[in-house]
Amino acid sequence: MKKLGNTSLNCPPIIFGGNVFGWTANKKESYKLMDEMLDLGINMIDSADVYSRWATGNKGGESERIIGEYLKDRKNREDLIIATKVGSSMQQGGDKDISEAHVIVAIEDSLKRLKTDYVDLYFTHWDDNKTPVEETLGAYEKLIKQGKVRYIGASNLSPERLQESLDAARTNNLPKYEVFQPEYSLAVRDKYEGKTKQICMDNNLGVTGYFSLASGFLTGKYQSEEDIKGTDRQQFLKSYFDERGKKILKALKDISDHHNISQAAIALRWIMQRPGITAPIASASKPEHLQSFKEAMNMDLSTEEMEKLNQASR
């Protein structure tokens, strides 16, 4: 367990991505995943109010609703760290919104779906690029005082807006973002490394990267563009099959063959051993997918293996 930034939350080595609940995992499957996840010692779920609006027949809130029903049925709210997010529109193509008015309403909707009176970590999901940072932080201050939110975090903010938010918190004595959630994997390093990473390290922010397996690309299941033609993965994965992508897959295969474990486990372990990272977020839609989580938590990559992956993914 690692401490999540300056919070009192102890984060497991891998955080479970709740975007699959109500999308690629139905209610029964989601319950099974959460039971098995807890058995592995993974006690943190990352969700959002908008998950999983994009799936046919969904309207958003499905993930939170399933988590809430699970917490009620299992009576285990205190055993779990629940993170959720605000800022996306519940309407397809709608505007992002982190105004105080929206935040205050959105938390009530999330708490109702989650069947709880507080969330451990509440994220600004996306920037709307118009609300003053002081207004958003002021809304969070009210929610923290009311006991509805314990800590706040930010996801997908530009380095400039992240820095502006941290400065405003300091200057105006407002709650500070304690966790940052960027997209981060062997396939996508530039959205975190550089300015954002420096800001996170300078301010001791916990960092929980999402898309850790690059939408399945890093599992090695897909070896070429032919493998993804006509699948729902095509739009996410087509850009990865370049020379760099092939180098990454080869390095992963070499190391996973050597250890006789999955490529997904190696890809997760690489993130776990990167400086400044608290834990990767990863999803599974079938209990057998959790095997790679277990493998990643029970091994270490050598300095040479880390360097081989660093080089391949440069």
Catalytic positions: 51
What distance in Å separates the CA atoms of residue 312 and residue 244, rounded to the nearest whole number?
Answer: 7
Q: 218 vs 28, 144, 222, 246, CA distance in Å?
A: 27, 38, 8, 10
Q: Any idea what the Cα angle at residue 59 is, between residues 65 and 82, rounded to 5°?
A: 30
Cβ(249)–Cβ(223) below 8 Å = yes
Tell me the one-letter amino acid at 146: Q
Residue whose entry in the numeric block shows the structure tokens 């002021």: 138
Q: 204 vs 197, 276, 278, 300, CA distance in Å?
A: 10, 9, 11, 24
Tell me the one-letter amino acid at 263: Q
Q: 129 vs 29, 56, 97, 161, CA distance in Å?
A: 38, 29, 9, 9
What distance in Å separates the CA atoms of residue 280 and residue 264, rounded to the nearest whole number?
Answer: 12
What distance in Å separates the CA atoms of residue 111 and residue 71, rounded to the nearest whole number?
Answer: 12
